[in-house]
Structure 1
Amino acid sequence: MGLISEVLLLPFAPVRGSAWVIGQVLSEAERIYYDPATVRAELSRLEEQLEAGEITEEEFDRLEDELLDRLEIATRRSAGTDGTER
């Protein structure tokens, strides 16, 4: 960009910076959310909750299905077959 463009867009610098930070936070949150190790740990905790009687069988089944879906998405992402561009 030219010098004039930079000067004219200077008041918007905080907005551009904030948008960049938000994008970085979102990317990191998605990385953690779909991390296979995180999902497996949550599955393990879920099983412990079932065995301890903290949740019902129906709750376990529903939550397990959600976690398995996340694990499948994570596997596809790591294989590069999720249909998204990186």
Structure 2
Amino acid sequence: MGLITEVLLLPFAPVRGSLWAVRQVLAEAERQYYDPAAVRAELARLEQRLDAGEIGEEEFNRLEDELLERLETSARRGTGNGDGTT
């Protein structure tokens, strides 16, 4: 951007900075949400809850489907490498 544009947009700098911060937080949250290691850990906890009788088979199947879809989305996006790191 040119100098004049920067001067004219200076009053909006806090807004632009806030938007950048929001985008960064959103990107990190999305990375963690689709992290294969995190999804696998949730699947293991879900199975433990089923074995402990905390949830029924129907709820288990519904939650398992959601987690498997997240894992599939992660594979399509190439998010993470499955060991908790990116």
What is the SS of the residue equivalent to 1:21? helix
Gaps of 5+ in 1: 80-86
Aligned length: 79
Deviation sequence 1:23-71 (CA, Å, 0-9, x none): 0001000100000000000000000000011111100000000000000
TM superposition shift of 1:78: 1.0
Q: Does 1:49 align with 2:81?
A: no
Tell me the equivalent position of 1:78: 78
Counterparts of 2:41 and 2:58 in 1: how far apart (Å)? 20
Counterparts of 1:36 and 1:75 in 2: how far apart (Å)? 8
Gaps of 5+ in 2: 80-86
What is the SS of the residue equivalent to 2:55? coil
Which amino acid in structure 2 is aligned with residue 49 of structure 1?
R
Which amino acid in structure 2 is aligned with residue 8 of structure 1?
L
Q: TM-score, normalised by structure 2?
A: 0.87
Tell me the equivalent position of 1:17: 17
Q: Does 1:69 align with 2:65?
A: no
